[in-house]
Amino acid sequence: MANSDKVDIVNSVNDVEKVIPSSNFGMTFGDNKLSTRETILGVVAVVFFLIAIVVIALFAAGVGNPPPAPDLCLTKGCMREASRMINFMNASVNPCDDFHTFACGNFPNFAQITSGNNERTVLRDAATFNEGKLRRVLGAPLQRNVDWSYERKAKELFSSCMNGYENQKAGGKPMIDLVNQIGPWYVFNTMGISNWDFQNALQKVHVDFWINALFSYTVAPDELDTSKRVVEIDYSGLGMYWGYYISTSSYAAKVQDAYKGFMRTVAGYMVRDNAMNPTDNTVKINIEQFVNDAYQFEYQLANVTAYTQPSPDPHAPGNRKKISELNTVADQVNWVSFFQYMFGSNNVNGDTYVVLLEADYLQKMSNMIKNWDPNSKTRVLNNYLMWRLMQAYAQDLSWEYVHANREFYVARTGRAQFLGTYRFCFNYMKSKMPDALGALFVQDHFADNAKSEVDAIVSRLKQTIATRIQQATWMDASTKKYASSKMQSVVDKIAYDTAAVSHDYLDRKYDSLKINATNYFSNILSMNAFEKNDWTNQLVRGQDKTKWRYNTYDVVAHMYNPWNEIIVPAGLFQFPIYTRIMPQHARFGAMGSIVAHELMHGIDEYGGYFLKNGTVFDWWSNKTTVDYLKSKRCVSDYYTNMTVGFRIPNSEGTVETRKVPINARRYAFEGLTETAGVRMAYYAYKDWVSQNGAEKQVPGLNKNNEQAFFISYAQTNCFNRNEGYGYSQAMQGSYPESFKVNTALAQLDEFVQAFSCPAGSTMNADKKCNVY
């Protein structure tokens, strides 16, 4: 036995170079790279750490005749897990006082924040790691160099976006061509706008150029019939957050001035690129009129936005409107003409129903236009729509236009670092061709056996939840029976859609998309037409429940109740969330807790409104609802009077602690689900052990596997965040992971027992709610 373990140790040490570089932790993301000296010191530290683990393991295996010790796992996966756990932990902290700091206290040393970033988290680092893979794939040589290849279209679209030379050579001419299509523009031809067609211009801005003006619309799932899709209309049409327009603070005034400067600068470049003299006095006056018109219109629109309310239950049959009836709500737009221009007269007509998410806004927006001074209305609407077009496409032109956009960005955010061409183009690709990127991502690195193994974890989690929900004292028998049945019928979408990564499928999907290898601006317009056609197909054909609502490379799990499905994309399949070589306690502690949390939303107070087929219906009994609210009140009371603190520099040059009170009533829902998710993942792991036998322990940790499970969970929630940013997030109701982890675990008897936390300690709550 000892000899076998020594061989495992030698193999593990030989695998060090394979283990450490493949981890995205301890890396510095962004523009700041580690120096050679820092890299060497880091490698030396890792080597000494691994040597220490090997020595410990040797003694545990019998060298030196120490006291008996538990069997140790010396595989590459266990060695890597031990390295991560010990490096992130602060063992000087008592786990019963502050478990998150115990588990994650050293994480900031391995995840330093670079300039331009506000935080580092495990999931955010995982997303950054995935983006690195995608960037490499986009830059790799073509594998299928034929005209119809989706790979070729994706890489040529990205390459054209990166082609600064062509963009610089074109200047503002591509946008001038668009202006002329919806024009004339007041600044170019003040006399010509008397015959300007507002309806035609509005339709082209929305449909041909894919820009929101006055309102937005989308093709969304129909909540009344999950086999269909429906058009939703919402508020939109501003060039910046509405609060900036109406605030009287000095900061808002600075942003307002920068926004007007952005308008003025772009208009000047447009005039110059249209072979006009931007220094001509008449032209300068017209530019100032343009700036004033566009800004004042948006200012009034911001006031409408600020003082209107969302529509209550907008999907209800009685609240929907026929397109022909929209004129009774907002009569300044010909809605039938608009939507037939978008979807085609064969697909929609005046009797087609739509959903108004903001009927109050639409009505007041329309009244605002109706009551505008008739002597200036046409000119103001002309300048407003032209600005919506210019602002949207300024980033896609030559460097001068890009720089003007950057100046406004800096003034608005206070961050001197701009996205840069590479980041901008990469984000564009993620937005416009996510399926193509997902296929390239999978084909580049993914192993199918990992997919089946995670599927097994998810199946075990569902079975555990279906079984243990029977212990919920607030659920009556009929509700428990349906909850168990619904959980077992959840559709698993794990890693990626096998059909959607095939060459044939994707070649057909992008068949109508025409890409020019060098002309990025024409590619944008081609993509607009492609998306218009895709939206029309979605509306006409209805829901395709085989489709995935998340991208393959996303780092998120989600329970989507309208389709009764759990989505776990391949982007999550990486260390320390899940790898095939990780020990089971780490898999269930990390990936298991994430997925179990989401699965609980299938049967909780939200999932209780969706049947197994996705139909909206309250399947909880009245008694279950009443008793649940009593149990939930226990959780709300638990979080009442809690605060989270942040150390913020003040105007006097010192640091003060600012405390943010927890919104207990709002957080109780997520808090109890977090606790339930960890508990279900824990029992799913225990179920695995009962069927497969106990695992060996990871070396060097001096913790049993139950304790390691909770450490894995906590370390999935490690973070390093600027205090000011954390304070801002908390004020908006997004509390730090340390709060989430500690309060969830303190409610678990299983955790308290694992770490023998005494009564009265922070991590042993006096009152435990045990909702699930």
Q: What is the pLDDT of residues 122-147, one digit of tens each?
A: 999 999 999 999 989 998 999 999 99
Pairing state between β 491-495 and 565-569: parallel
Residue from 763, 681, 748, 589 nearest 102 by CA: 763
Phi, psi of 235 (to 5 degrees): -75, 150
Instruction: Give the C-alpha separation, 663 to 659, whole Å.
Output: 13
Residue from 750, 740, 732 nearest 671 by CA: 740
Q: What is the pLDDT of residues 397-442, one digit of tens each?
A: 999 999 999 999 888 887 776 667 888 899 999 999 999 999 999 9
Q: Return the exposure string of 477-510: e unless at least 16 CB atoms fall within 10 Å of the residue's CB, then b.
A: eebbebbbebbeebeebbbbbeebbeeebbbebb
Of 678 and 23, more confident: 678
Q: Return the exposure string of 167-178: e unless at least 16 CB atoms fall within 10 Å of the residue's CB, then b.
A: beebbbebbbeb
Delineate the domains of the chain, giving CATH numbers in brackets: 2-118 (no CATH), 172-397 (1.10.1380.10)
Q: What is the pLDDT of residues 228-273, one digit of tens each?
A: 999 999 999 999 999 999 999 998 999 999 999 999 999 999 999 9
**pLDDT at residue 577, rounded to an integer:** 95
3-state SS assignment for residue 37: helix
pLDDT reading at 27 higher than 70: no
Q: Cα 682 vs. chain centroid, distance in angstroms?
A: 27
**pLDDT at residue 50, rounded to an integer:** 52
Alpha-carbon torsion angle 606, 609, 613, 614, nearest 10: -70
pLDDT reading at 41 higher than 50: no
Q: Cα 588 vs. chain centroid, distance in angstroms?
A: 23
- Asked if residues 771 and 474 have their Cβ atoms less than 8 Å apart, the reply is yes
Q: What is the pLDDT of residues 467-505, one digit of tens each?
A: 999 999 999 999 999 999 999 999 999 999 988 889 999
Q: Cα 513 vs. chain centroid, distance in angstroms?
A: 26
- Give the dihedral sign, CA 463/468/474/475: positive
Residue from 657, 687, 671, 447 nearest 584 by CA: 687
Note every long-range contact of 107-110, with CB atoms under 8 Å and residues 24 or more positions apart, other chains counting.
107/715, 107/718, 107/719, 107/720, 108/720, 110/25, 110/26
Instruction: Give the C-alpha separation, 209 to 205, whole Å.
Output: 5
Mean pLDDT of 69-97: 92
Q: Whole-prediction pTM value?
A: 0.82
Q: What is the pLDDT of residues 740-756, one digit of tens each?
A: 999 999 999 999 999 99
> What is each CA distance from 544 to 226, 227, 343, 547, 563, in whole angstroms?
10, 8, 19, 6, 10
**pLDDT at residue 28, rounded to an integer:** 41
**Which residues are within 8 A (CB) of 429 and not within 5 positions of it... i.e. 6 or more apart?**
138, 154, 157, 158, 161, 437
> What is each CA distance from 440 to 126, 435, 443, 495, in whole angstroms?
18, 9, 5, 14
**pLDDT at residue 22, rounded to an integer:** 38
Alpha-carbon torsion angle 711, 716, 720, 721, nearest 10: -130
**Which residues are within 8 A (CB) of 22 and not within 5 positions of it... i.e. 6 or more apart?**
575
Name the pLDDT band for 653 (thresholds 50, 70, 90).
Answer: confident
Spell out the alpha helix ranges (H) of 542-621. 584-587, 593-600
